[in-house]
C-alpha cells in the first residue's frame, strides 16, 4: 500500500501538472447568510489565529511537496466577504 499523496517534485499528485492558481480559504464572515451553503462560520468566538497558523503550516508543507513554479492567480476567501 503506497502513499497516494506522494508526488514527483513540481507536479500535482492527482493530475501530473503544476497548479498555477491558488485558493486560500478563510471561512469566517461577520454573519451567516441564511442561503449560504459555503463552509463558513460567524467569526466571533472562532479560533481564527489558530486557523491562520495551521493554514501557514499547510502552505509551507504543500510548497515543499509541490513546489510552485509559477502562480498566476491567488484567490482569497476572506473574512468579512460578502457573496
User: Which region among 11-19, 51-59, 63-71, 75-83 touches ligand SF4 (by CB under 6 A)?
Assistant: 75-83
Residue 33 binds ligand SF4 (CB under 6 A): yes
- Shortest spacing between CB 32 and ligand SF4, in angstroms: 5
Q: Do 64 and 10 form a contact (C-beta atoms < 8 A)?
A: no
C-alpha 8 chain-centroid distance = 21
Using CB under 6 A, which of the segments 5-13, 35-43, 46-54, 60-68 binds ligand SF4? 35-43
Measured distance CA(30)–CA(24) in Å, rounded? 18
Residue 28 grid coordinates: 469566517
Q: Closest distance between ligand SF4 and the C-beta of residue 67, in Å? A: 31
Amino acid at each position: 500500500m503506497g502513499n497516494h499523496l506522494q508526488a514527483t517534485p513540481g507536479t500535482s499528485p492527482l493530475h501530473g501538472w503544476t497548479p498555477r492558481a491558488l485558493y486560500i480559504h478563510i471561512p469566517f464572515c461577520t454573519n451567516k447568510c441564511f442561503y449560504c451553503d459555503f463552509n463558513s462560520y460567524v467569526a466571533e468566538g472562532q479560533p481564527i489565529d489558530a486557523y491562520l497558523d495551521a493554514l501557514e503550516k499547510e502552505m509551507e508543507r504543500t510548497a515543499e511537496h509541490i513546489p510552485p513554479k509559477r502562480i498566476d492567480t491567488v484567490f482569497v476567501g476572506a473574512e468579512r466577504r460578502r457573496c
